[in-house]
Amino acid sequence: MMPRDAMLKAFLREGPPSASEYTTLIEAATAALRSEAPDRRPATIRGRPGGLIMLEKDLPAIIVPDLHARRGFFISLMESRLPGGGTVMEALAEGSLQVLCLGDGFHAEARAIERWKAAYAEYAGNYREHAAMDQEMAESMGLMEMVMLAKIAFPRYFHFLKGNHENVLNEEGQGNHPFRKFVQEGDMVYAYLDAFYGRDFIQAYAAFEKSLPLFAVGARFLASHAEPTRAYALEELVNAPHFPEVVLGLTWTDNGAAEPGSVQTLLSRLLPGQERPRFLTGHRTIPGLYRERSGGYHLQIHNPNRYVVAWAMPERDLEPEFDIGEIRDLGPTIAKANI
């Protein structure tokens, strides 16, 4: 079933979504994650969905960096037209394309700094007023609503990795750190959901987050949210949900904090014989389309001010100067057409 109408509703919604409808969606998305085929997502030693997802080796892939409540980015991607004439969403439905998102769905970044400041005042007042935070949650929850709709509709071809912002509990531990950047974003989101959606809702969303994969293996590339802290063994990647150190090392690594050679070792171990494989990450921001690290083997692609994506073909190496670019912002056109 094509989820286009439901995605448009999530994109256009001005306020936060209904708790009951969203809970149903969370449960369906979590079920999709927990029922992925073991040949694509090997289970952990305890039978949980593993941390590693094997992408289709014979299909092109679009790699999408941190979304951070950018509903316009996601709907623009889904509605973008491909060289063959159809849209990305139509190609996902046909099984002729796969999409990999590198995580971080919640928390608008610097574009919303003034709104965060206003929302902090609301938070300090126990959300007796909450107009600014309503806007933030409409965007963050709306973005993840579209992500979940895509996972439910196209479970084999659409994937979303866990990032460091997938921590709705704002917990310390289990591979997570509490999050704050401009204000107290992690605490503010938790308090808002607790006040207006309830603890059961929060726990259901946390279960969804903990069911997400952490590491992807493509035909000629590897990907995780952040640069891996070290060259993890295959068994560690599969069993990452049971090892907080591995979760942390795939989602929180700062530039320069990884053990030297980790990217190259993982590429040679998991993609042997490839002439120029690449490792793609988001997490740390860049000013342009991409930043090369580790001798060009590691490509960072998260620009919070542009809709940057990477295109990976199965039959040739990914060349950043040709295969990383910016998609058009179709949001205003889509909004105008659906008034």
pLDDT of residue 181: 87
What is the rounded distance in angstroms from the CA atom of residue 322 to the CA atom of residue 31? 37
pLDDT of residue 12: 97
Q: What is the mean pLDDT of residues 161-188?
A: 94
In the predicted structure, residue 1 carries a pLDDT above the cut 70 = no
Q: What is the mean pLDDT of residues 262-268?
A: 98
Q: Say how many Å lie between the first and final Cα of the chain, rounded.
A: 24
CB 122, CB 184: distance < 8 Å: no
Cα→Cα distances 219→82, 216, 251, 313, Å:
20, 10, 22, 8
What is the rounded distance in angstroms from the CA atom of residue 118 to the CA atom of residue 6? 30
Instruction: Check residue 282 and report its DSSP letter.
Output: E
Confidence class of residue 226 from pLDDT cuts 50, 70 and 90?
very high
**pLDDT, tens only, 163-174:** 999 999 999 999
Q: Got the DSSP string for 110-158?
A: GGGHHHHHHHHHHHHTTTSS-HHHHHHHHHHHHHHHHHHHHHHH-TTTE
Q: How much of the chain exceeds pLDDT 70, in percent?
A: 100
**pLDDT, tens only, 126-168:** 999 999 999 999 999 999 999 999 999 999 999 999 999 999 9
What is the rounded distance in angstroms from the CA atom of residue 255 to the CA atom of residue 227? 8
pLDDT of residue 85: 87
Cα→Cα distances 229→59, 138, 189, 250, 253, Å:
29, 34, 28, 7, 6
- Please state, rounded to an integer, the average pLDDT across all residues of the chain: 97
Strands 291-293 and 215-217: unpaired
Structural domains of the chain ordered from first start = 4-337 (3.60.21.10)
In the predicted structure, residue 76 carries a pLDDT above the cut 70 = yes
